[in-house]
Structure 1
Amino acid sequence: MSMIINAHHRIKYAALAALALASIAGLQGCGRESLADSATPPYLHQVKTQSVRLQPNYRIEREFAGEVQAGQSSRLGFELPGVLESLLVNVGDTVAEGELLARLDTSLLDSERAELTAQRAELSAELDTTRRNLARIEQLRSEQLASERERDELQGRTRVLEASLQRVDAALQANRTRFEKSELRAPFDAAISGRLVDLGVVVDAGQPVFALEQSLVREVRAGVPVTLANTLLAGQSVRVRAGQAVADGQIIGLNPVVDQATRSRTVRIRISEAWAPGELAYLQLDMPVQKTGAWLPDSAVTEGARGTWVVYAAVDSGDARWRLETRSVVIHHVRGNELFVSGALNDRDRVVSAGLHRLAPGQLVRVSETTELAAALP
């Protein structure tokens, strides 16, 4: 019996010893894991930064309203009064320089020309007869068979007939001129923008019959403040906008007189686009604003305390670690997704360009990339 009890004691002691050894081994393993954990560096967020490039000014785009106009506009009429016999074009038609547009009734001119032509023929025949008679008188005088008086009379008659013939020729030329002026022709390549009279009416001299707008030549005329107009030069390239369409233009002149109502000067810009005359257009000009600051993406700026705006500047803390500091800024201009700001920034400072909602002041981070987008901006 005692032998059985001794055997049980030995088994019990062996089990306790094994358990103690296992506990010691477990404690040693935990110690090693704790040491390993203490050797692992803390996790740091990776951020992208942008290098601040300070500049003395920024430019803003302003638009000045104007109107599209044809290079030339004209209200055409006849130089002579008369009955409008024919209208050969209508509103919307395109005409070439010299093309016939309308014609007056020329029946009276036809009668006048016929009468003058007959007078000329009569005078020409009479002058021819007088000259032959004068030649015979000259021959008879050489034979002492004609008097000097007869010769003088024929010479005088010849001069009268020659003068009468010249008068009729001048009248015929005037008749031809009136014929030409009875036709209305286009002074330049144009589009008919208005027909102002109807067929068969009697028009006065100078009364407008058609309104024309020069084809393919367009101008934009816009009023610009005097101080800005003084910086513009003829030949300078500019941008103009009509609706959603933007075109390049060239300044062809500035009105030297200041408009008393708007206190502005009119700028004329030549464009190549066939925009409709009368359409509203805008002259786009970049104006410099003297303010030292930098361009930043809008994702680099966040709202601070009491309605202020801040950026997170990354300050080198060594060991490739950067500490975040808040810097107050003022937003001066917005252009797309870019902001021009000024404030507690120095040239070449690094500011976090995105992901500010995951960060906090004083936090240590790692910089993965630095850009200099602002260096390329005007």
Structure 2
Amino acid sequence: MTVTAEQPVPYPFNEPEGLSLADAYQAALEEPGLIRVRLAYGEPAWLATRYADARLVLGDRRFSRAEALRHDAPRHSEGSQDSGILSMDPPGHTRLRRLVAKAFTVHQVEKLRPAVRDLAHRLLDGMEAMGQPADLVEHYALPIPVAVICRMLGVPEEDHPRFRAWSDAALSTSSLTAAEFERNRRELRAYMTGLVADHRRNPRPDLMTGLIEARDTGDRLSEGELVDLCDAILLAGHESTATQIANFVHTLLDHPEQMEILRKSPELLHGAVEELMRFVPLSSGANFPRYATEDVEVGGTLVRAGEPVLVAIGAANRDALKFADPGRLDVTRTGVQHLGFGHGVHHCLGAPLARLELQEALGALLERFPGLRLADDVRWKDQMLVRGPREMPVGW
């Protein structure tokens, strides 16, 4: 076991443009143990980069998310990082998660596949009618998850564009002040409060009405928890998936031999989505610190009680101790146990839905446009927690 007081290094490592894994992560994967890092705001933290260490921190109950609210938690922006259900520990976290979980089971989500497939093809019809080049983000990658999660929550179609700015603010690492961050959060809460009130007056068969019934009849969550939960579902239910649709397409265009394999063998698509989840490092930097509630040894490093640990999932998914030839994209790879959807009690609740949307979005695109190509320079997101194209002009 090692105890180190090394000087923290500036973090994050990844550049916002492109999807490569930073050399600093590659170097960290060559060495055992954790490294000390300092983000733009908050106290220094340990950074776990290896797969086994990452899985331990994500899954071990000795690491707490709720403790972050009682510390000057490491973060990328000045604003508060109270993330609702993501900032909770069991049993409170378990209580809220159970209320939503039944809507996101594999069985329930699979019922949505025909509608998602139809939506993907209708969007491609629209792109084809519009003509080349078309922005894959605006006209395809974003509308699919937005339409699906809004339908599940009962958000009117005309309101879909309104929460785009709120989502950008929630995921921003820019110079938003704490006041600006909080103002955006209040606006989203106000909108969601109004939507909850409308659903109370006019119930419909959707997830929000189910949560309202749990609130009003079962008293299983407070009014504030109800609004926060709907906020979290709405934001988490579209941003990462929309970004990964574009990221996966960009990655396949960079690996044309892998794209050709998928065109010739579409039955490999489900496994290819798992390999792409492993291969593409989505985050600009690790988020959501876990605080040790007692002294814990992680990869030979002693983490003292009260110290935060960040988990670099993109690096862990490239760990040669876990994956053979980790720096190579291989859409025929099987049994890929990546950490792209997290691990432990905070494993992504919407993983079955994200998988379905990614499978259908890629499948429809590869089938429809065999000559798919980049038609101009990609404009990348910057100052965001997730990396990916903001604009991606394509031709076919």
> Which structure would you say has the larger RCO, counting Cα contacts within 8 Å and 6 or more residues apart?
2
Structure ranking higher in helix proportion: 2
Q: Which has the larger radius of gyration?
A: 1
Higher strand share: 1
TM (normalized to structure 1)?
0.18
